[in-house]
Amino acid sequence: MRLDGYESALLGRRAGVSPTLSRTAVELYALGGLYGRVVDLPADKAVSRGVEIEGDKDSVVANELDRLKVLPALADSLRWSRLTGGAAIVVVANDGGTLRAPLEASRLDTIEELKVFDLDDVSATDQRYSDPTKANFGMPEVYQVRTLASGTVNAEFYVHETRLIPVPGDPLPRRIAAIKGVPWAGRSAITRAYRTISDYSQSLHWSLGILERKQQAIYGMKGLAELLQAQLEDVVQKRIALVDSARNILNTVAIDSEDEYRIEDTNVGGVRDIVNEFQIALSAETGIPVTLLFGRSPAGQNATGDADFGTFYDLVEGLQQNKAGPALERLITLILAQKSIAKTIGQWSIVWPPLESPSEKELADVEKTEADAAQAEATAIGTLIDRNILTEQLAFEYLQSEGRYGLTASSSSPTRGEKEAAPPAEVASSDGGGE
């Protein structure tokens, strides 16, 4: 196919546009890079420091959490919840029933394993609760779960809702969530973020193009129009190629005396600022600081990045409390219902450890502050005793009640004499020399 003469001559095979393939969010996530990082960072951070179960003195629950790999399952469920708008943990249990039958806690012998599926793999069936007096009226009773097994084109199974622990996505209006048919379906957390990542990638591509053309060679060829009219595009292409190859190899350009050749230097100022703005836009869309997304240090004078990390930690704590927490409570309840567990525990609660450990300097600052406060308190108590406003016995009882200086309820009171028990008048007479 013959193109326009000017395009054929000056562009030749360089003309053309590379096709842009539209990809789904799951396909983009599979590419990794920023597409994977905005999904994985909050999910992995939420479980990176583990979880503590208060009341689990014999580590009954802790051992089961390790055996069932609960924390990795929670991380995956949070990951797929952010990616697709929801996830589900299917409890594979040995209770004498099938997956489609309700899970009877009284017959639960052992939880065998946990399987995590994203919202795209889960759909509600027409089997729903029909008792209008119950809170679950109209809710799906059985779900269909699709899985790609090895060697199987379409593999699916049905599971009762008591064997499925949902991990919802970000909130959606009820009427929109109802379209998906799954009550706990939410919106994906990365739809807008992925668009911003694409814009950022495009800005890098264009920035590279600007760098490639920073020094643009301009070749003024005598008789170019006549050559094009004579359909001698191949001759034009050959002359351009000779000039380019000479410049690349010898750094010297030989042209006709009536031709013109010059280099135009393009200004690239402001490109960096534009790229930085795309990075900030991505941080705003995801709630993840630029320092984590791109491995950059905080910029500016006295910049610590504390405010950025505070926003990120709020995001992670929200995942812990609102999504991972309810799922973990349900799992612990089932774990304690197992007949295979010999020991039982009473009251228990879930405690998420702090997301960040203080540095040695921060710990030293805390110790210094506490020491200064203790010194100020001791000085104040000593002053009150010297002015007979407070007796030594009362000071001792106060320090004992607060647990200061190792004093406990079993500590004995001071025996320095009768000064603390004597009324002020007798103390004054004693100071006069009589007793």
Q: For position 300, what pLDDT does the model report? A: 45
Q: For position 274, what pLDDT does the model report? A: 85
Q: For position 337, what pLDDT does the model report? A: 92
Going by the DSSP 8-state scheme, the letter that residue 287 receives in this structure is -
Asked if residue 190 lies in contact with residue 25, where contact means CB atoms within 8 angstroms, the answer is yes
Predicted confidence (pLDDT) per residue in 402-430, tens digit: 877 777 777 666 655 444 444 444 444 44
pTM, to two decimals:
0.71
Query: Looking at the DSSP assignment, which residues form a beta bridge with residue 264?
Result: 216
- Please spell the DSSP secondary structure of 256-271, one letter per residue: -TT-EEEEEEPP-TTH
Asked if residue 288 lies in contact with residue 312, where contact means CB atoms within 8 angstroms, the answer is yes
Regions of the chain short of the pLDDT cut 50: 1-3, 13-21, 300-305, 417-435
Which residue has 């927490």 as its token pair? 325
Asked if residue 154 lies in contact with residue 146, where contact means CB atoms within 8 angstroms, the answer is yes
**What sign for the dihedral angle of Cα 266, 272, 274, 279?**
positive
